Amino acid sequence: MSFSASWEKARRILAPAIDHGGTHSERDVFDAIVAGQAQLWMHGDSAAVTEVISYPLLRACRVWLAAGDLEGIKEIERQVEGWARQNGCARLEIIGRKGWLKKLRHADVRVLMTRGL
């Protein structure tokens, strides 16, 4: 499948998550992927977008958009983990709604608090 076809499918899957997040437009996500600042992952009818974050003491791979069925998301997570290790990441971070906590069962949970200004 060409990148254009993959992006079109991923865009349809991710559109609700992009809208819900309120931080990026579809174009922003597309541009970040094309520029190599973000990575697009797909499995079946599921999709996710990651980015590598460089902290002073470690590199982390952050999943900041994901949508689709649970099994597809879990398979993407497995693929991302391997890729992240190969690219020098020591941690996987996921930004998402609270409902993902029960589904993905991550051991170390931090809270991101936001308030509109």
The mean pLDDT of the chain is 89
Which H helix or E strand runs over 103? helix 99-104
Question: Does 82 reside within a domain?
Answer: yes
pTM: 0.88
53-92: per-residue pLDDT in tens? 999 999 999 999 999 999 999 999 999 999 999 999 999 9
Q: What is the mean pLDDT of residues 11-34?
A: 93
Question: Does 109 reside within a domain?
Answer: no
Question: Does 57 reside within a domain?
Answer: yes
Question: Does 111 reside within a domain?
Answer: no
Res 60: pLDDT: 93
Distance between CA atoms of 113 and 39, rounded to whole angstroms?
25
Q: Are 61 and 80 in contact (CB under 8 A)?
A: yes
Question: Does 71 reside within a domain?
Answer: yes
- What total number of domains does the chain contain? 1
Which string of DSSP letters, residue by residue, matches 2-50? -HHHHHHHHHHHHHHHHHHH-S--HHHHHHHHHTTSSEEEEETTEEEEE
Res 21: pLDDT: 82
Task: Print the domain residue range for 89.
Answer: 3-104
Res 108: pLDDT: 66
Report the CATH number at residue 78. Answer: 3.40.630.30
Question: Does 61 reside within a domain?
Answer: yes
Distance between CA atoms of 64 and 11, rounded to whole angstroms?
14
Distance between CA atoms of 111 and 97, rounded to whole angstroms?
11
Which H helix or E strand runs over 59? strand 59-67
C-alpha pair distances (Å), 53 with each of 6, 87, 92: 24, 11, 10
